[in-house]
Amino acid sequence: MKKMLIGNLVAISVLFAGCDEIQNVPTTQSTTVEQSTDFQPKVSATGQPIDDQTLKIAQASEGEFTGILSSVFSQNTVDSQFFEPANESLFYYDENLRLIDGGAASIDFDEKEKQVRITLRDRITWNDGTKVTADDLIFPYEVIGHPDYQGVRYDASKQNIVGMEEYHAGKASTISGIEKVNDKEIRIRFKEMTPAILQGGGSIWSDAMPKHVFEGIPVKEMATSDPVRKQPITFGPYYVSKINGKNSVEYAPNPYYYGEKPSLAKIVMTKIPVSEAVPSLQAKEHDIYMDMPAAEYSSWQSVDGYENIGQPRTAYNYLGFRLGHWDENKKKNVMDVNIKMGDKRLRQAIGYAIDNETIAKRLYNGLQIRANSLIVPAFTTLHDANFTGFDYNPTKAKDLLDEAGYKDIDEDGVREDPEGKPFTIQFAVREGGDTAEALANFYIQQWEKVGLDVRLATGKLIEARTFSEMLNNNDERIDMYSAGWSTGYNPDQTNFFGETNRFNYTHFVSKENNQLLAAMSSSQALNEKNAKEIYQKWQQYAFDQAFAIPTTYIYQVYPVSERVINYNLSYTATQNRYATVGVIKEKR
């Protein structure tokens, strides 16, 4: 979710892990968001790495490793994490998560001319021995913008590139705004100089793509091709040397890496079930454990021989509502008249009825905190920590439901709709161990207390791939869903909630939302004061419309063996996190 994904929008992923049922927990209220945990993002162990060692990494997840090892085509966090040791971003990032020089390429912004120059540094080489060239910098834009591209990366920020829309429509064979200056340098011209150009995860694609290995493969077939699924070619410190089915990938040192020679003989990353994560850690089977279950923190927070490192993620969990559909012909989201969840007072009531403070503290042991906004705290100048958001207020929830006409006519404890008919909300929740079930049950119980009949869509938790397909296909069995976003490094909300963006699974569209998102993406937002004002207005508007209700922000905490050195999660790290990682002991 770091260097691998900051150049892109990260696909939907529900970030739940295993835990016990929530029973008889005291409710609390809070009007501010406070961070209750304090972790360092880098391991403290030091020393000289020893040779010929294997680093073992466990990825604890109920999500599926689909084997898409490409930032252009990946759509889930598991795939992206499996790509990290081999992939490397072209750029570094500052404390505001903006692109800066120092990585595999330098970047020069010219606001007056509305253009950017990207120049490769010397010795950047693919792991097959082929030099990385300007063609490889241009190629991902050509794939993402191609009419046959079936991924999710073509968005408003890419449409800001001069000539991109014409190319995407099939009216041009090249993107006129992207120019190859020489073998190592390209120039990109934009219609408007916007904040998304400066941010990671915005208009500038942060990865190169090896054009020579995709020669002859049609764009519509690339996602299933060998360079994506079996033999990805990369220029990071390691390359994918072996794929062991659906659960494990091995990496060997890239002999052509431009940086310091990697010290490890091998890295092995394995996906393990969440239910096996704590016993595996206690048995010291792996050196690094990613995405441990927060609900079981007390059982793994002090395992001998491991150090917990962490930081807040650029991610949040939320409740979304199906309010329309995607019009494939018009290539945009359309609101549906008289849809079940169409009354914003109903949606607001649902938000006020849930106690996310208790969920964060009791279910996730403080490794999550109540979310007050769809803008994550990592964007420190844009996130408003004093904004109340949906605090726990069941009385207000009941008043809103009464006002909207949802009343218990027959006095059975369940509200009917404004026409007096039975009213049931179908709630979709993705599988995710005991926690997902406990969370779903807790939510349903809290909604029941305000008189709402909420039931699991399909009658049970939904398998990960099916859940994703149901959202993508706007399945009518879903009225409301629980999900999460890894936002990447770009705070612009257009890609999640814009009218022409496929990631807008709520399908919410309004004139005012379009105007606020346009301002967020405009040159006026280059000014920090203007940007703060625009984001505050949008946060208030999103709260009022309640098309998506943020529930919790997420901490990323990894137990790391004390034999591991130079492992750093920091967003501002000046290298691929695996570039200099090593071990100083032969055994854990």
**CB count, 10 Å around CB of 531?**
21
Give the pLDDT score at 486: 83
Query: Taking 80 as the threshold, does the pLDDT of residue 46 lie above it?
Result: yes
Q: In the structure encoding, which two tokens stand for residue 403, read together?
A: 């006002």
Q: pLDDT value at position 433?
A: 67
Mean pLDDT of 166-175: 97
- What's the mean pLDDT in 471-484? 94
Q: What is the mean pLDDT of residues 80-89?
A: 94
Look at strands 332-335 and 324-327 and give their pairing. antiparallel
Whether the predicted pLDDT of 180 surpasses 70: yes
Give the mean pLDDT of 113-129: 96
259 vs 63 pLDDT, higher one: 259
The number of residues making up the chain comes to 588
> How far is residue 551's CA from residue 33's CA, in Å, rounded to a whole number?
12
- Between helix 344-352 and helix 394-404 the angle, nearest 10°, is 160
DSSP letters spanning 30-57 = -SS--------SB----SPPPSS-EEEE
Distance, in Å, from the CA atom of 355 to the CA atom of 343, rounded to the nearest integer, reads: 22
**pLDDT value for 15:** 33
Query: Which domains can be identified in the chain, with CATH numbers?
Result: 1-6+44-87+234-305+562-588 (3.40.190.10), 89-227 (3.90.76.10), 313-555 (3.10.105.10)
Q: What is the pLDDT of residue 98?
A: 84
Asked if the model's pLDDT at residue 7 lies above 70, the reply is: no
Quick one: tokens of 585? 């002991």
Counting residues of the chain whose pLDDT is more than 90, the rounded percentage is 72
* Residue type present at position 324: G
How far lies 400's CA from each of 124, 397, 407, 414, 417, in Å?
59, 5, 10, 15, 13
**37 backbone dihedrals φ, ψ, rounded to 5°:** -125, 155
Collapsing DSSP states into helix, strand and coil, what is residue 574? coil
Three-state secondary-structure class, residue 241: strand
Unique residue bearing structure tokens 């120049």:
119
Distance between CA 539 and CA 518 in Å, rounded? Answer: 14
Average pLDDT over residues 425-438: 88
Question: What is the distance, to the nearest Å, from the Cα of residue 99 to the centroid of all Cα atoms in its chain?
Answer: 18
Q: What are the phi and psi torsion angles at 430 (to 5°)? A: -80, 150
Relative orientation angle of helices 433-449 and 274-282, to the nearest 10 degrees: 130
**What six digits make up the tokens of 159?**
């449409």
- Report pLDDT digits (tens) over 299-332: 999 999 999 999 888 889 999 999 999 999 999 9
Average pLDDT over residues 529-544: 95
For every residue of 129-195, which 3-state class applies, written as one string? CCECCHHHHHHHHHHHCCCCCCCCCCCHHHHCECCHHHHHCCCCCCCCCEEEEECCEEEEEECCCCH
Under 8 Å CB-to-CB from 189, ≥6 apart: which residues?
Answer: 113, 114, 115, 161, 162, 177, 178, 179
Q: With a cut of 70, say whether residue 458 has pLDDT above it.
A: yes
- Give 156's pLDDT tier (boundaries 50, 70, 90): confident
Q: Which residue has the higher pLDDT, 538 or 14?
A: 538
Helix, strand, or coil (residue 8): coil
Range with top average pLDDT, 84-93, 162-171, 369-378 = 162-171
At 366, is the pLDDT very low, low, confident or very high (cuts 50, 70, 90)?
confident
Q: Which two tokens stand for residue 84?
A: 């990290």
The average pLDDT across 94-107 equals 86
Q: What pLDDT, on a 0 to 100 scale, did the predictor assign at position 566?
A: 96
Residue 418, token pair as written in the block: 């404004």
pLDDT in tens, 283-304: 999 999 999 988 889 899 999 9
Query: Coil, strand, or helix at residue 506?
Result: coil
Question: What pLDDT, in 10s, does the model give residues 497-508?
Answer: 999 988 899 999
Both structure tokens of 314: 């650029």
**Do the Cβ atoms of 333 and 326 come closer than 8 Å?**
yes
Gyration radius of the chain over CA positions:
24
Dihedral (CA of 169, 171, 174, 178) sign: negative
Return the residue matching tokens 């854990």.
588
CA–CA dist 555, 9 (Å, integer): 19
Classified as helix, coil or strand, 298 is helix
Beta strands of 432-471 (E only): which ranges? 453-456
Six token digits for residue 52: 């010929």
Relative orientation angle of helices 528-545 and 511-520, to the nearest 10 degrees: 150
Confidence at residue 263, expressed as pLDDT on a 0 to 100 scale = 94
User: What's the rounded Cα separation, in Å, for the pair 190 and 163?
Assistant: 9
pLDDT tens per residue, range 419-431: 999 999 999 999 8
Mean of pLDDT over the chain: 90
